[in-house]
Amino acid sequence: MTADQPRATRRAINAPLTNADVPDSVEILNAETPFQGFFRIDRYTLRHRTHAGGWSEAMTRELFERGHAVAVLPYDPVRDEVVLIEQFRPGALAGGMPPWQVEVIAGMIEPDEAPEAVAHRESEEEAGLHVRELIPISHYLATPGGSSETIRLYCGLIDATGAGGVHGLAHENEDIRARAMPFDAAFAQLGQGPADNAPTVIGLTWLALNRARLREPAPGPG
């Protein structure tokens, strides 16, 4: 349904959408930014085409803007090990979940950065890992209604020998413990609390469905 595709592939990320950014099936009647802190909240009044034909009534909706992220599940297909990181997360704390979350590696994409470059850099900064190949898993919306946040999730092939330890940028108050563990032990963490966050669940379940293929030795020369 091409009419629903956004007109522009890129827009200023520091301002609300305008009608030039959206398909003909949506009309923005008003847009403002009622909150600008480290994050931003935009408030739109808009209407859109309905499934039955015609237009919806005008509606007011708020939108949480925090940018876009890259996430990497590091996997060593030879040792059948993943590396997960453990760090303090204020959203989890305030949401009543374990505040030290066990996660895949993640970082925000700065303007004009390539996602793959962010994946390599964050793997180095957060876990001291050299990723030799990135396999795209998904480019998804964290929560499609109230937030524009997208995550580009990759599986990063690594050598997990000697991986682990404390990492993170001290000047950003990052304090990250990386641990290598067998895939089965990581997958068994799901449902226990600390690892129950969307990027980690999607990454580990993707690996459960694909790791047999990744473990097959690549056909070599002779």
Partner 1 sequence: MPVVFPWADDATPANLQIADSHTAFLGYFRVHRYLLRHRRHAGGWTGWMTREVFERQPTVAVLLYDPRADTVVLLTQFRLGALAAGKPCWQREIVAGEIDGNETPDAVARRETLEEAGAAIYRLIPMHDVVVSPGPSTERARIYCGLVDSRMLGGLHGVAAEQEDIRAEVVAFARAWDMLRTGSIDNAPAIIALQWLALHRTELRADARG
Residues numbered 97 to 126 that lie near partner 1 (CB under 8 A) are: 97-103, 106
Q: Is 74 in the site for partner 1 (CB under 8 A)?
A: no
Q: Which of residues 34-73 bind partner 1 (CB under 8 A)?
A: 34-35, 37-39, 41-44, 46, 48, 50-52, 56-57, 59, 61-66, 68
Q: Which of residues 151-180 bind partner 1 (CB under 8 A)?
A: 151, 166, 173, 175-177, 179
Which segment (123-131, 144-152, 155-163, 213-221) binds partner 1 by CB under 8 A?
144-152
Residue pair 75/158 in contact (Cβ under 8 Å)? The answer is: yes
Residue 27 CB neighbours (<10 A): 16
Would you give the distance in Å from CA 214 to the centre of its chain? 22
β-bridge pairing 81-88 and 176-182: antiparallel
Contact 150, 142 (CB under 8 A): yes
> What does residue 28 show for φ and ψ, rounded to 5 degrees?
-90, 120
Instruction: Pick between residue 87 and residue 123 the one whose CB is nearest to partner 1.
Output: 87
Residue 67 CA to residue 44 CA, distance in Å, equals 18
Q: How many residues bind partner 1 (CB under 8 A)?
A: 93
What is the rounded distance in angstroms from the CA atom of residue 58 to the CA atom of residue 54? 12
Give CA–CA dist 48/75, Å, rounded: 43
Nearer to partner 1, 113 or 175 (CB): 175
User: In this chain, which of 124, 125, 150, 159 binds partner 1, going by CB under 8 A?
Assistant: 150
Per CB under 8 A, which of residues 15..34 are in contact with partner 1?
17, 22-23, 25-26, 34
**Residue 214 found at the interface with partner 1 (CB under 8 A):** no
Q: Is 201 in the site for partner 1 (CB under 8 A)?
A: yes
Which positions are annotated as active-site residues? 172
